[in-house]
């Protein structure tokens, strides 16, 4: 059985972009092999600076995945920090990782360009990510096109380790997530916590409605047809609606006679209906956090059992163990 590995950072409230960009495909893949999904709380420390925030975001990611359809009986869900072997492996990998490889990492350069504080953690992020991937003998790693370099770096590091110490690690293959479209935020840019333009999966309905009603639109009169091309409203509707709902919505936009206020209200109603079953399950988990904690503890035990022989093989190869 193939091992599928993916991780998500607990760096803020989950939003529609997270669901369609990563969560949906991860949940779909759980039937195609042994899936391991980890909450990357060590990685989140490069951006989350308050302990209470990290705890809350970590719970939200775990409960969010479970509410959206992840099956803990088939899938290993765990906190990255509950498998300490990942840091020993990260050190073993770091001794074969060229500085130039890390300096070329897009994520590091992008964050520095955005004004992020430089730190060893941010610079060495790809090494810890390689350890995450290699520690479980992963076969497949779902990534977006913009994240493919992360896996390429992990493969390069694994190959350098194998060249020096012998054939310890398998080289995992990417599963490129082909999203139907980039989910736009309320300002038209890609939905992202860093832009502050998100629609939260589990937020209050009134807050969601307020965000949608504040989406910028042009000054087309009520009676006139509304442009569909480039419309944030149409893009969001296409993301969450059925094909029939989307066709009806855009047909009314093009026919005219309906104002943007009414179109926003309809969009809000469709998004709320789409999220309603997820919210119901999330709320039930929020009322019983011990259930989430038990699932994470069980996942950590299962993940450590997979990690132990891989790390021991690496230790023997380097001479740390007999």
Active site residue 238: no
Per annotation, catalytic residue among 193, 226, 238, 264? 193
Active site residue 279: no
Active site residue 111: yes
| CA atoms within 13 Å, Cβ hemisphere of 63 | 25
The DSSP result for 279-309, as a single string, is HHHHHHHHT-HHHHHHHHHHHHHHHHHHHHH
Per annotation, catalytic residue among 111, 226, 238, 264? 111
> How many CB atoms are closer than 10 A to CB 83?
26
Instruction: Describe the crossing of helices 125-134 and 85-94 by its angle, rounded to 10 degrees.
Output: 120
**Calpha distance 119→233 (Å, rounded):** 39
Per annotation, catalytic residue among 148, 170, 190, 281? 190
Distances (CA, A) of 170 to 33, 126, 140: 17, 17, 11
**Calpha distance 108→115 (Å, rounded):** 11
**Calpha distance 260→266 (Å, rounded):** 10
Active site residues: 111, 190, 193
């Amino acid at each position: 059985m193939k091992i599928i590995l993916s991780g998500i950072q607990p760096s803020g409230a989950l939003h529609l972009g997270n669901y369609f960009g990563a969560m949906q495909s991860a949940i779909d893949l759980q039937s195609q092999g042994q899936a391991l999904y980890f909450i990357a709380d060590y990685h989140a420390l490069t951006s989350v600076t308050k302990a209470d925030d990290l705890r809350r975001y970590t719970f939200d990611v775990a409960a969010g995945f479970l509410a959206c359809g992840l099956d803990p009986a088939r899938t290993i869900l765990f906190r990255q920090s509950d498998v300490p072997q990942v840091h020993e492996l990260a050190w073993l990998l770091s001794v074969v990782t060229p500085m130039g490889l890390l300096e070329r990492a897009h994520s590091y350069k992008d964050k520095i360009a955005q004004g992020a504080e430089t730190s060893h953690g941010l610079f060495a992020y790809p090494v810890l990510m390689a350890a995450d991937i290699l520690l479980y003998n992963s076969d497949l790693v779902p990534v977006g096109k913009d994240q493919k370099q992360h896996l390429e770096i992990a493969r390069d590091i694994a190959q350098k380790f194998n060249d020096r110490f012998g054939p310890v690690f398998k080289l995992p293959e990417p599963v490129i997530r082909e999203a139907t479209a980039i989910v736009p935020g309320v300002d038209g840019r890609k939905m992202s916590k860093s832009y502050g333009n998100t629609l939260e999966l589990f937020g209050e309905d009134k807050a969601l409605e307020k965000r949608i009603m504040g989406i910028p639109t042009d000054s087309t009169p009520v009676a006139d047809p509304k442009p569909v091309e480039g419309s944030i409203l149409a893009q969001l509707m296409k993301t969450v609606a059925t094909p029939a709902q989307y066709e009806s919505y855009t047909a009314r936009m093009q026919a005219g006679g309906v104002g943007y206020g009414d179109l926003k209200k309809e969009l809000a109603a469709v998004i709320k209906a789409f999220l309603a079953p997820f919210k119901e399950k999330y709320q039930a988990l929020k009322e019983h956090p011990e259930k989430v904690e038990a699932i994470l503890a069980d996942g950590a035990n299962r993940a450590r059992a997979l990690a132990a022989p891989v790390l021991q093989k690496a230790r023997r190869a380097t001479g740390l163990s007999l």
